[in-house]
Amino acid sequence: MDNQVWNQVENQKLEFYEHYTGAWNSYWLSFYDYFDEIKIIDDENFRKYRDLNLEGFSIVFFELFVVICKMPSKTNMDNQNRLHSVSEAALQWRDNNNQYYIHGVSFEKDLWEKLVERKLKVKEILKLKNIEQRYIALEYYGFENILTELNAKLIDKSKRGNELYSIKFENFDLRLLKYSCPSTKRTYGSFVKPSIKKADEAMSWKHNMSEDEYALLSIEA
């Protein structure tokens, strides 16, 4: 978007009304389209709006104006239907103003390129101000690689397979909980408060439970 236009829009006190993408209203469009075909209704504005829907569009309603644009020329998603690609822009537009996502989290192109090409060090990732970007980047790098690069020290491993690591980062003593999801079989990691000393304590804290409540769980998912 042109900087001048962006500044003008940003300075306005806009009230957001609603947002729709694609043929959200196809059910009633098809209903009235039938009556248009059999000549019971005759409304040129309806036909224009129907045709706009058939082309595919994104529309945002404000109090004083409406913004409409065509749908992206290409969209890449992960298996959870989140915008995602580590090989090209996840959201590609006809004017090449593309957008980059990893598992639903947006990244500026330069940062995205450094991540997918693994040019960032883990310590640099930990300094990212955006918490979602930081977590997705760490997950993408793989927690085994993170533990190795940061010289993490295993301080506790529970019978449930949870592992708690201590990491020295600058002037901080971090705690990283490593655990596996029984349903996906994937390994995950989560930073927990530094005072935690046991892996299951970390897992119960993560899920806002007491250690006794967590100990009573027979199935985890």
| Cβ atoms of residues 194 and 208 within 8 Å | no
Q: Which pair of tokens denotes residue 193?
A: 């408060």
Strand ordering across the sheet containing 66-70? 16-21, 57-62, 66-70
* pLDDT tens profile 187-221: 888 889 999 999 999 999 998 999 889 888 877 76
* pLDDT tens profile 74-106: 999 999 889 999 999 999 988 888 999 999 999
Under DSSP, the state recorded for 152 is: -
- Name the average pLDDT for the chain: 85
* pLDDT at 54 > cutoff 50: yes
CA dihedral for 19, 10, 129, 107, sign (positive or negative): positive
DSSP string, 168-215: EETTEEEEEEEEE-TTT--EEEEEE-TT--SHHHHHHHHTT--HHHHH
Domain boundaries, the chain: 14-70, 74-134, 151-215
